Amino acid sequence: MKFMKLGTRPDTFYTEEATRTVISDVPSDLTIRINNISYLLHKYPLLPKCGLLQRLFSESEDSSNVTLDLHDIPGGEEAFELCAKFCYGITINLSAHNFVSAFCAAKFLRMTEAVENGNFVMKLETFFSSCILEGWKDSIVTLQCTEKVLEWSENLGVIRRCMESIVDKILAPPSKVTWSYTYTRPGYEKKRHQTVPKDWWTEDVSFLDIDMFRCIVSAVKSTNMLQPQLIGEALHVYASRWLPDITEARPIESSTSEFEDSPDKKRRILETVVSLIPADKGSVSIKFLLRLLRLANFLVVSPVTKAELLRLSGLQFEEVMLNDLLISTQPLNEQTSYDIELVKSVLESFLRQWKRQNFANESQSLRSMCKIGKLIDSYLQMVAKDVNMPVQKFASLAETVPGIARAEHDDLYKAINIYFKEHPDLSKAAKKQLCRVLDCQKLSPEVRAHAVRNERLPLRTVVQVLFFEQEKSNMTANKMLTYPEQLKGRQQTSAIRDDLSKLKLGADEQSGKSKDSRASAPSTSGVHQKLRKSGEKLQLKPEPSLKLREVIGSEMEEGTEIKEARLPASQLDPRDIGRAKRLSEKIYSKARER
């Protein structure tokens, strides 16, 4: 920081109650009142240098002891005292911290060369041009100080000249940066002769008010001389300081006042930061965008700002990591609750933009979609552990993923199974709703084997898995048969599929009887026990009195049809497949008898 020392006399100002005066043998003949403080001074040192005081004194009727009110002087009593000490020849030290107020007050008092040569204004202008504007931190601090006397600073050109100096230094090549700057990134240590980082300027400008910051960043962007990533880094540093809720750690050198800003101010800062994000893809990270989006929901920003954040987030959604999506709705709460609605909104934005993109080939498009599908399924496995996660939100996100994004449903099955495990009191209807998105045809043999023995699954889903295994077994056996035998097998399989479709209709016609029958029928957990055996092989021995059609009918959801199966090779025990086939045939025969 640069300093300028003026005057040689010692400071003789002192305070007595609400009065400031100067130790002197000569009695005071000039009283200056500023706010609640009165200055008892002398006309001889002040009037020759202050054009305003000369005019006011000439208008006064009593020339022996004049009292003047200067309540509207910019910078208040502190700035006036600097000017008064200059007139008395008392030593004063000027720096970027007090330059603005002293300069505005000197201009107000008309301490110019027209009044006296070598006056205060001329010395201040020299200090401003040769010292403050030549320095980096001096320009930053001076610009910060203009907030107290904003109108005067703007009219006198202080703000404009400081901004021009700052922008010129930002655009300078790093090799020509010779001034000191603030850079406290983790892992960075200033060493002798170390190369200056390209983003050396971002921390210092983050101390500025949002309007000052916006003007500087806009000016830098308009030159197109810096990479968009550097602009994005400056926005990230600024947001980390003034919007601490979006960061995982406490912002760099953040003051208490920055944490206590009103929601209105935070909202304005957020909207301004979003408006400054470069249009170039990758200028800011997807993690930063997601944090901004979360805060935007909390602060209720304008629809335009939120739409832009969703667009930018969707554009870079392929770059997101699983940990970036684990955003808590209440960071201060000990019990984690994930913001699944935010993730769904960004996913929908990605899907809209994905449809409009022109990929080089279809395989690239498919890879992009499959990557998102695996990411969402992994995310579902994590949020499934949230005991407060509503099944509707969980199912809604799972259903939002397009079918082509999931070549297999193993990860989705794992997520659903975790959700069932963490929510043991889930109703049958809720379980059916969640399993509706699960395509049993896309399960691997290992997962299908697990599903058959999974007592948490609805019986309808288990029967679907068994049916697909049976049909797959038939398809494998058909490869060894002659053509007439294969044709007969296909006809039998088609008849079975038709019967399964009609099964639901039969249940509707006997809905009244079914209700009475279900009251006396064993629970579905009993059926599961009959379908499974502790030795991990199926033991399909239904009780003679059990009305299988009605049990299955109670588990089947309205409008649900068994899907065709096209499965990879199964790893289930062939004896299990045979037993499953016999069970299915008994189900069909019971349905026809009814």
pLDDT tens digits for range 192-205: 557 889 999 999 99
pLDDT score for 583: 56
In terms of phi and psi (left: phi > 0; alpha: psi -120 to 50; beta: otherwise), the region of 530 is alpha
* Mean pLDDT in residue range 236-264: 67
Cα separation, 30 vs 37, in Å, equals 14
- DSSP output for 86-103: HHHTB-EEE-TTTHHHHH
Mean pLDDT value across the chain:
81
Q: State the pLDDT confidence band at 470, using cuts at 50, 70 and 90.
A: confident
Q: Domain ranges in the chain?
A: 4-176, 458-594
Per-residue pLDDT of 449-466, as tens digits, reads 899 889 999 988 888 888
From 131, 166, 165, select the one nearest 4 (Cα to Cα).
Answer: 131
pLDDT score for 550: 39
* Mean pLDDT in residue range 265-288: 95
pLDDT score for 464: 86
Q: State the pLDDT confidence band at 427, using cuts at 50, 70 and 90.
A: very high
pLDDT score for 328: 82
pLDDT score for 65: 82
> Does pLDDT of 243 surpass 50?
yes
Name residue, tokens 């054009």: 51
CA angle 89, 90, 92 (to 5 degrees): 115
> Does pLDDT of 493 surpass 60?
no
* Mean pLDDT in residue range 103-116: 97
Q: State the pLDDT confidence band at 536, using cuts at 50, 70 and 90.
A: very low
pLDDT score for 363: 79
By CB neighbour count within 10 A (0-12 exposed, 13-18 middle, 19+ buried), where does 2 fall? middle
Residue 21 phi/psi, 5-degree rounding, is: -145, 175
Of 7-16, 137-146, 351-360, where does mean pLDDT reach its minimum?
A: 351-360
DSSP state of 73: -
pLDDT score for 152: 97
Q: What is the CA radius of gyration of the chain?
A: 39
Residue 202 contacts residue 233 (beta carbons within 8 Å): yes
Cα separation, 345 vs 353, in Å, equals 13
Q: State the pLDDT confidence band at 445, using cuts at 50, 70 and 90.
A: confident
Percent of residues, the chain, with pLDDT higher than 90 = 59
pLDDT score for 553: 43
Of 24-33, 158-167, 471-480, 536-545, where does mean pLDDT reach its minimum?
A: 536-545
Residue 99 contacts residue 142 (beta carbons within 8 Å): yes
pLDDT score for 514: 40
* Mean pLDDT in residue range 399-403: 95
Q: State the pLDDT confidence band at 552, using cuts at 50, 70 and 90.
A: very low
Q: State the pLDDT confidence band at 533, using cuts at 50, 70 and 90.
A: very low
Of residues 584 and 470, more confidently modeled: 470
Per-residue pLDDT of 323-380, as tens digits, reads 999 888 765 455 568 899 999 999 999 999 988 877 666 777 888 899 999 999 999 9
From 49, 10, 11, 56, select the one nearest 33 (Cα to Cα).
Answer: 56
Residue 174 contacts residue 223 (beta carbons within 8 Å): no
Give residue 523's identity as a one-letter amino acid code: S
pLDDT score for 518: 38
Percent of residues, the chain, with pLDDT higher than 70 = 73
Q: State the pLDDT confidence band at 480, using cuts at 50, 70 and 90.
A: low
Query: pTM of this prediction?
Result: 0.77
pLDDT score for 78: 95
* Mean pLDDT in residue range 558-563: 37
Q: Which of 24-33, 203-212, 291-300, 521-530 has the highest mean pLDDT?
A: 203-212
Per-residue pLDDT of 31-65, as tens digits, reads 999 999 999 999 999 999 999 999 998 887 766 78
> Does pLDDT of 531 surpass 50?
no
pLDDT score for 356: 84
pLDDT score for 262: 85
CATH number given to 4-176:
3.30.710.10
* Mean pLDDT in residue range 133-146: 97
Indicate if the alpha-carbon torsion angle 490, 492, 495, 496 is positive or negative.
negative
H/E stretch holding 185:
none
> Does pLDDT of 89 surpass 70?
yes
In terms of phi and psi (left: phi > 0; alpha: psi -120 to 50; beta: otherwise), the region of 27 is beta
